[in-house]
Chain A
Amino acid sequence: SQELEQSPQSLIVQEGKNLTINCTSSKTLYGLYWYKQKYGEGLIFLMMLQKGGEEKSHEKITAKLDEKKQQSSLHITASQPSHAGIYLCGADDQGAQKLVFGQGTRLTINP
């Protein structure tokens, strides 16, 4: 089945700095989803990508799916304390009615 690997596993950045989180798949991606999770809470849907080369933005967060559809990146511009949390990438699993997830990237924003 699909396996997703995220990097880095944790990230500490100064407020106002830009950052990038990567998600690499073992197989071609169909739907790729980014979620944000605050510690001990539910997953908040951020964006879905489906086409190679697709890029979507929401406020200061931009996500992109590469042309080969095996890697996605999430970029945050001018980070703020509200961006702190765990970012998870998820993917459709080869037509099965489920998502598989990466292990998450824990983002800390220092003031």
Chain B
Amino acid sequence: EPEVTQTPSHQVTQMGQEVILRCVPISNHLYFYWYRQILGQKVEFLVSFYNNEISEKSEIFDDQFSVERPDGSNFTLKIRSTKLEDSAMYFCASSVRGVPYNEQFFGPGTRLTVL
């Protein structure tokens, strides 16, 4: 069964360093998303991406964040200068179509720890 994959599973970085989180969405999906979950808190939306453009972004997704689909398979989230409060589980998701009534399939997540 097709699934969303993410690498790395764990990333430890120093405050101020750049990190790139990678995702391979399900191959026939057209919509891509990043969410994050700080320990003990709700899953929060960061950004959605369709047709090589950002469709929607949250207040969290400031200038320190960027997304890219560098080729036909990967979808990346870059954090330019990490802060302590960026420590969280980051989930990539993909769907065949956009909202409403779109089933989003999530990857296993990347646990980011900023020291």
A residues with CB within 8 A of B: 30-31, 33, 35, 40-45, 48, 50, 88, 90, 92-93, 95-104
Contact = CB atoms under 8 A, between A and B. Distances in A.
A31 B103 CA distance: 9
B11 interface: no
Interface in B78-115: 89, 91, 93, 98-109, 111
Contacts, number: 73
B45 A100 contact: yes
B65 interface: no
B100 A92 contact: yes
A100 B48 CA distance: 13
A102 B56 contact: no
A90 B89 CA distance: 17
B12 interface: no
B108 A41 contact: yes
B56 A31 contact: no
A42 B107 contact: yes
A8 to B, nearest CB: 16
- Find the residue from A93, A97, A101, A104 having the highest chain B CB count within 10 A: A97
